[in-house]
Amino acid sequence: MSAQGQVVRACAKVNLVLRVGARRPDGYHELVTLIGRTDLADVLLLGPAERTHVDCPGLPGGDTLVTRALEGLCAAAGHAGGFHVHIDKRIPHGAGLGGGSADAAAALRAANALLPAPVTDAELARIGAEVGSDVPALLYDEATIARGRGDRVEVLGDLPRAHLAIAHPGRPLATRDVYARHAPSDRPLPDRIALPATLDELAALLENDLQAPAEALEPACRALREGMMGAGALAAMVSGSGSAVFGMFRTGQEAEHAAGMLPDAAWTTTATLGASSGG
């Protein structure tokens, strides 16, 4: 294994479609979600070590998802050593942007490439699924559809390029609390989601079954969404279970303007979505 470390970007996700079905026997809900990657990213410095240790300022005890992922990888590969990872967090915690899962997926890919006997992609996905429901889909830079509890992944390809304003109210939402407020629907989950060809098609596709319970738990989410629509967004929605909200715009200038007009936001940024955004 190379003694050289790697600098790796772990790109945030947004759920462009999130449909939630019935609760499964294992306690998870059946879901179908279309996931896009943005260029908002945590930055990881990863290298070999005698044992796995994750340093993440701002998260006491480091990032446990990354730790579990790398320990699972070493066990599966029969590797006696570990990895040291330093994470520069730029994705808010508890925001529905997949920061912890993106970190775990990026660490798995980078660490696997450093092993003398890397595991297969299928094994990497299995390890990721044991760590978190979003991790298998975030092993890919392209847009993906995840089904089941997130463990069945289909890679779609590149989305139309879009500019996003992303805002966070400053208070995280616990995924379990949002799901607990979710009112089940009789609507069947979609069998397929086609890759949109244009930005307008992408904006028209946005749908999130968890938006209503997230906004009920954190009213600032609704204020942020309405603020983005008022600033000219093609569409705006809570990402995942919240509490981050994103608005979709045609230009970066429009996204920056909207991000500066959200008094209910504790944190805002802009990002791009679509072709060449991930990685």
Residue 23: per-residue pLDDT: 87
Residue 49: per-residue pLDDT: 96
Whether residue 156 contacts residue 142, with contact meaning beta carbons closer than 8 Å, is answered with: yes
Active-site residue set: 13, 134
2 pLDDT band, cuts 50/70/90, is very low
Whether residue 12 contacts residue 41, with contact meaning beta carbons closer than 8 Å, is answered with: yes
Residue 240: per-residue pLDDT: 96
How would you classify the pairing of strands 53-55 and 143-148? Answer: unpaired
Cα(44)–Cα(41) distance, integer angstroms: 9
The amino acid sitting at 262 is L
What does the angle CA 264 – CA 269 – CA 274 come to, to the nearest 5 degrees? 125
Higher pLDDT, 57 or 136: 136
Mean pLDDT check: name the lowest of 21-25, 207-211, 230-234: 21-25
Q: Is the pLDDT of residue 218 over 70?
A: yes
Q: Is the pLDDT of residue 210 over 50?
A: yes
Whether residue 271 contacts residue 248, with contact meaning beta carbons closer than 8 Å, is answered with: no
Dihedrals phi, psi of 110, to nearest 5 degrees: -70, -45
Residue that is written with structure tokens 């044992």 in the block = 51
Average pLDDT over residues 1-18: 85
Q: Is the pLDDT of residue 215 over 70?
A: yes
Q: Is the pLDDT of residue 276 over 60?
A: no
Residue 114: per-residue pLDDT: 95
Residue 71: per-residue pLDDT: 97
Residue 5: per-residue pLDDT: 78
Name the residue among 162, 187, 184, 168 with its Cα closest to residue 255.
162
Residue 61: per-residue pLDDT: 61
Calculate what percentage of the chain has a pLDDT beyond 70.
95
Calculate what percentage of the chain has a pLDDT beyond 90.
87
Average pLDDT over residues 66-79: 97
Residue that is written with structure tokens 């909207």 in the block = 258
**Which tokens sit at 132?**
């978190």
Q: Is the pLDDT of residue 58 over 80?
A: no
Residue 123: per-residue pLDDT: 97
Average pLDDT over residues 104-121: 97
Whether residue 34 contacts residue 130, with contact meaning beta carbons closer than 8 Å, is answered with: no
- How many C-beta atoms lie closer than 10 Å to residue 279's C-beta? 12
Q: How far is CA 23 from CA 26, 134, 147, in A?
A: 8, 17, 13
Residue 28: per-residue pLDDT: 85
- Domains of the chain from N-terminus onward: 6-156 (3.30.230.10), 158-273 (3.30.70.890)
The amino acid sitting at 241 is S
Average pLDDT over residues 111-139: 96
What does the angle CA 98 – CA 101 – CA 102 come to, to the nearest 5 degrees? 75
Cα(35)–Cα(156) distance, integer angstroms: 10
Residue 1: per-residue pLDDT: 45
Q: Is the pLDDT of residue 18 over 60?
A: yes
Residue 166: per-residue pLDDT: 98
Residue 63: per-residue pLDDT: 65
HEC letters along 52-106: CEEECCCCCCCCHHHHHHHHHHHHHHCCCCEEEEEEECCCCCCCCCCHHHHHHHH
User: Average per-residue pLDDT in the chain?
Assistant: 93
278 pLDDT band, cuts 50/70/90, is low
Alpha helices in the chain (DSSP H): 64-77, 99-114, 121-131, 175-181, 199-205, 211-217, 219-230, 252-259
Whole-angstrom Cα Rg for the chain: 18
Higher pLDDT, 62 or 226: 226
